[in-house]
């Protein structure tokens, strides 16, 4: 029985992780869990799994949560609480299901404590991949991908020699607007954008999927996780979301990984690695599917993917700038302060206009990264507010 900590248990990744645990209660015990603001949802989950350690964002939620539980739990608060939780001696596997940059510190501390980290959060890898990999190596921690495309590539690479890989390919469904004419993008509402055709996900990643920014982030994430140059990382549109990743080898063979689009699969793989266990997910029935469809992405209609490659080519803090800008821009879209078609516009403006401060040793320094992230967020916020003049 492994002790599991699930950060972001009230979200979509958290929910899929719970299903994996429920499918194999003999394998996992939930030692700790966190959320930001959905205290009632956390309470319900905590009650049914009798989770001994809980972390909430606000001090004011602690008493409310404690008094509503029907068992005794330790309730911790904020960043310090997350740090304590992921470093508990009994904690063995940490699932990082928090969205955004807030996942960075707990990911860092979990790796530093030598844990197995099953990481869904791509933002941390994009902004501080080098630091996280270095600390993982030093602490002999495991960093295992949960993002479905990266899990596929990870699985496909198990038996291949890196030097024999010609390229890796991440698939993208194309999101809900792939066939919509560009002129219509201005009319896309947040309600339309959060409805992904194939996956059930949180609001931020759903909007990112609709702009293909998510795929751009996944390219940057793959660069960090697998250490391939960007020239060897490609994207194909595959609207069926059955093939999640492909690996082309130097002899021309292409290996592909198929499964139904259900996050239980990559989560279970990361939790049970190198073993596999049975799961209650819909089976892929190839005879019913008939054919698999792939096409090259339209970078003119979806410039966010291009921006990610450009930021990755420039390297340094450019991926961080893009990621930070996107957090603010997507939030502004969700709050209806900007229209959907303006998302790439503000991202490109930020990449071009943000003045990078002196950064002698940013690769070593998490506090520098967090400070820079805040500065970029502020810059974009001002850009959005002063839209007409910028
Ligand atoms: N969903 C997917 O299928 C999927 C696939 C691949 C990768 N990912 C990645 O996984 C991460 C989570 O995605 P998601 O779709 O599960 O998001 P989500 O449904 O929005 O859930 C996010 C979770 O993190 C918590 N959280 C959010 N902001 C926080 C903060 N500032 N401090 C502490 N906790 C915070 C939320 O708590 P509350 O509920 O209380 O707000 C919630 O539990 C993202 O980085 C995403 O890119 C997701």
Q: Say if CB 145 and CB 225 are below 8 A apart.
A: yes
Residues 166-184 have a mean pLDDT of 95
| Maximum Cα interatomic distance, the chain, rounded to a whole number of Å | 63
CB 177 within 8 Å of CB 273:
no
Residue 200 has pLDDT above 80, yes or no: no
DSSP state at residue 250: T
User: Taking Cα atoms as reference points, which of 343, 306, 15 lies closest to residue 204?
Assistant: 343
Domains of the chain and CATH, by start: 2-146 (3.40.50.720), 159-260+283-289 (no CATH), 315-385 (1.10.1740.10)
pLDDT at 359: 66
27, 1 contact by CB (below 8 A): yes
| pLDDT for residue 388 is more than 60 | no
List pLDDT tens digits, range 226-254: 999 999 999 999 999 999 999 999 999 99
Q: What is the average per-residue pLDDT within 58-66? A: 90
Question: How many C-beta atoms lie closer than 10 Å to residue 49's C-beta?
Answer: 20
pLDDT of residue 386: 84
Taking the mean position of all CA atoms in its chain, how far away is CA 120? 4
C-alpha 161 – ligand 1 centre gap (Å): 34
* pLDDT mean over 200-211: 91
Is the pLDDT assigned to residue 198 strictly greater than 80?
no
The model's pLDDT over 313-349, given as tens digits with 9 standing for 90+, comes to: 999 999 999 999 999 999 999 999 999 999 999 999 9
Residues written for the chain: 390
User: At 363, is the pLDDT very low, low, confident or very high (cuts 50, 70, 90)?
Assistant: low
What's the average model confidence in pLDDT over 88-99? 97
Given pLDDT bands bounded at 50, 70 and 90, which one contains residue 82?
very high
Q: Using alpha carbons, list the distances in angstroms from residue 130 to 87, 204, 315, 364.
A: 21, 24, 12, 8
Q: What is the distance in A from the centroid of ligand 1 to the CA of 99?
A: 4
User: 36 pLDDT exceeds 60?
Assistant: yes
Residues with CB under 6 A from ligand 1: 8-14, 34-38, 57, 97-100, 102, 120-123, 147, 199, 201-202, 205, 263
**Nearest partner of 348 among 284, 384, 303, 315, judged by Cα:** 303
Evaluate if residue 362 carries a pLDDT over 70.
no
Flag whether pLDDT at 390 surpasses 80: no
Average of per-residue pLDDT across 200-213: 92
pLDDT-based confidence at residue 389 (cuts at 50, 70, 90): very low
For tokens 């800008």, name the residue: 325
User: How many angstroms is it from 49 CA to the middle of ligand 1?
Assistant: 20
Cα(96)–Cα(104) distance, integer angstroms: 9
Can you tell me the distance from the alpha carbon of 28 to that of 272, in angstroms, rounded to the nearest whole number? 10
Q: Which of 205, 260, 261, 331 to mutate to test the pocket of ligand 1 (most atoms within 8 A of CB)?
A: 205
State the chain's mean pLDDT as an integer.
94
Average pLDDT of the residues in 108-135: 97
Mutate to test the pocket of ligand 1, among 5, 6, 10, 13 (most ligand atoms within 8 A of CB): 13
Determine the distance separating the centroid of ligand 1 and the alpha carbon of 235, expressed in angstroms.
Answer: 24
Q: How confident is the model at residue 360 (pLDDT cuts 50, 70, 90)?
A: low
Cα distances from 199 to residues 73, 240, 241, in angstroms, run 33, 11, 9
- Work out whether the CA dihedral 332, 334, 336, 340 comes out positive or negative: positive
CA 112, distance to chain mean position in Å, is 20
């Amino acid at each position: 029985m492994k002790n599991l900590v699930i950060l972001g248990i009230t979200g979509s990744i958290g929910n899929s992780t719970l299903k994996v645990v429920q499918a194999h209660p003999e394998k996992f015990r939930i030692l700790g869990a966190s959320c930001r603001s959905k205290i009632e949802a956390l309470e319900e989950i905590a009650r049914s799994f009798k989770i001994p350690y809980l972390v909430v964002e606000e001090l004011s939620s602690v008493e409310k949560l404690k008094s509503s539980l029907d068992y005794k739990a330790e309730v911790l608060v904020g960043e310090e609480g997350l740090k304590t939780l992921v470093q508990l001696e009994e904690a063995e596997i940490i699932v990082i299901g928090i969205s955004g940059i807030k996942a960075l510190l707990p990911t860092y501390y979990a790796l530093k404590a030598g844990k197995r980290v099953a990481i869904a959060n791509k933002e941390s890898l994009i902004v501080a991949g080098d630091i996280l990999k270095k600390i993982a190596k030093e602490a002999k921690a495991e960093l295992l991908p949960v993002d479905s495309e990266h899990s596929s590539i990870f699985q496909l690479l198990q038996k291949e020699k890196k030097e024999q890989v010609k390229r890796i390919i991440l698939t993208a469904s194309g999101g809900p607007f792939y066939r919509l004419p560009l002129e219509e993008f201005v009319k896309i509402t947040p309600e339309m954008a959060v409805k992904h055709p194939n996956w059930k996900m949180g609001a931020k990643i759903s909007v990112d999927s609709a702009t293909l920014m998510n795929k751009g982030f996944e390219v940057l994430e793959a660069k960090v996780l697998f250490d391939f140059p960007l020239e060897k990382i490609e994207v194909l549109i595959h609207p069926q979301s059955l093939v999640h990743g492909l690996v082309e080898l130097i002899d021309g063979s292409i290996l592909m990984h198929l499964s139904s689009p259900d996050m239980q699969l990559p989560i279970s793989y990361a939790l049970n690695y190198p073993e596999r266990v049975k799961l209650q997910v819909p089976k892929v029935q190839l005879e019913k599917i008939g054919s698999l469809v792939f096409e090259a992405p339209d970078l003119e209609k979806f410039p966010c993917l291009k921006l990610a490659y450009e930021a990755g080519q420039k390297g340094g803090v450019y991926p961080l700038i893009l990621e930070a800008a996107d957090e603010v821009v997507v939030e502004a879209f969700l709050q209806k302060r900007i229209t959907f078609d303006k998302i790439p516009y503000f991202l490109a403006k930020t990449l071009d206009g943000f003045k990078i401060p002196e950064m002698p040793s940013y690769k070593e320094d998490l506090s520098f990264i967090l400070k820079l992230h805040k500065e970029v967020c502020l810059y974009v916020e001002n850009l959005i507010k002063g839209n007409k003049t910028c």
